[in-house]
A and B are shown apart, each in its own frame.
Chain A
């Protein structure tokens, strides 16, 4: 069935370090891909999305590229800030409107 796999956390980085959070998926058809973020004490919110192969989603300095050949949608940021500390969830939306999430990756950025 459809599924999303993310790299294990927690991830701890120093401020201004480069961030990569790996995400791979299994799905039939052509899913849309998303990254959601959950800041401490807040609800989930959409960070970025991509709807077809080779699309790049970007927001707040984060980027992810939809790679159909490797079924991946890795999240990257060139220089993280303390305010980026949060839990990041990779997700896919199937052609039947079902939305599935990965287990989440906790990121802590230290000054």
Chain B
């Protein structure tokens, strides 16, 4: 089975800190995604990447950046954390370039609290 691993289950940070959220997948997937999940808003796409060093903005990229230096790892960076970035962050991956039958595999999420 595909495994998508997020480095932390819970994180507490202070306003203004630089925050790194790490995600690693073990199935050579081309596509990787970062979402945030908030009550009543569902999952909102922050960034996605379809190849190493390639990235595309999602619907809410403001305040975030990403890095994909290796195929298996996709990092989400909060340059200067703010309280409105308190959320559950979900990483996902998919095969990519495989036609229309792919599905997303999700990590277990990182609950980030910014104080």
Q: Using a CB-CB cutoff of 8 Å, which residues 73-94 of chain B contact chain A?
A: 90, 92, 94
- Check: B45 CB closer than 8 A to any chain A CB: yes
Contacting residues, chain B, for A100 (C-beta < 8 A): 45, 59
Per-position binary interface string of chain A over residues 37-62, scored 1 when its CB falls under 8 Å from any chain B CB and 0 otherwise:
00000011110010110000000000
Is the CB–CB distance between A43 and B45 below 8 Å?
no
A-B pairs with beta carbons under 8 A, tally: 57
The chain A residue sitting closest to B101, CB to CB, is A51
Point out which of A34, A98, A102, A104 has the most chain B C-beta atoms below 10 A from its C-beta.
Answer: A98
- Check: A89 CB closer than 8 A to any chain B CB: yes
Contacting residues, chain A, for B58 (C-beta < 8 A): 98
Q: A43-B109, A97-B50 are in contact. Are A102 and B42 (CB under 8 A)?
A: yes
Contacting residues, chain A, for B94 (C-beta < 8 A): 97, 99
State in angstroms the CA–CA spacing of A5 and B59 once bound together.
15
Contacting residues, chain A, for B42 (C-beta < 8 A): 6, 89, 101-104
Contacting residues, chain A, for B45 (C-beta < 8 A): 98-101
Is the CB–CB distance between B108 and A43 below 8 Å?
yes
Q: A89-B42, A103-B40, A103-B41 are in contact. Are A43 and B100 (CB under 8 A)?
A: no
The chain A residue sitting closest to B43, CB to CB, is A101
Residues of B participating in the A interface, judged by any CB pair closer than 8 Å: 31, 33, 35, 40-45, 48, 50, 56, 58-59, 90, 92, 94, 96, 100-104, 106-109
Residues of A participating in the B interface, judged by any CB pair closer than 8 Å: 1, 6, 32, 34, 36, 43-46, 49, 51-52, 89, 93, 96-104
What are 9 A-B pairs with beta-carbon distances under 8 A?
Answer: A32-B101, A43-B108, A44-B43, A44-B90, A49-B101, A52-B100, A97-B96, A99-B33, A100-B45
